[in-house]
Each structure stands twice: as C-alpha cells, then as structure tokens.
Amino acid sequence: MKGGAEEARYRSCGSKRRYRSQGDALDAALLAGVERERAAYRCRYCGQWHLTTRERGDPPRGSR
C-alpha cells in the first residue's frame, strides 16, 4: 500500500497551520492558552513552523 509518506506529510505538515517562525508559533499557542501543551517544531517538508501536542511533558530545548 502506498501513500504512507504522503499521509505522514499530511499529518505533520499539510493538515497543520504554518508559522513563519518559532516565535509566531509559540505566540499562537499562547493566545489560545495552550502554550504548556504545545511545542513548536520546524517542519522538514515546508521549512516553516508548526505546533504539535506535547505528550511527554518535555520542556523544549535548544533555541531561546
């Protein structure tokens, strides 16, 4: 069965809202009041940023 990659791309990119920067993504989460439940990640498909649900409670690391 094909389409696995397409589906993964849709789920991690196509179905999501895009943000120009990590700051924009985090701002959107903040406005929605869900900043503790969301993490921003840079998309490998479109090169922009999306928000994902944080499940393990790991704090984001790295930038900032």
Residues that bind Zn ion in the complex, under the rule CB under 5 A: 13, 43, 45-46
Select 28 or 46, whichever has its Cβ closest to Zn ion: 46
Cα 55 from chain centroid? 13
- Contacts of 36-44 with CB under 8 Å at 24 or more apart are 43/12, 43/13, 43/18
Q: How far is the CB of 36 from Zn ion (least distance, A)?
A: 23
Measured from the CB atom, the residue of 8 and 57 that comes closer to Zn ion is 8
Q: How far is the CB of 1 from Zn ion (least distance, A)?
A: 24
Radius of gyration of the chain from its Cα atoms, rounded to whole angstroms:
13
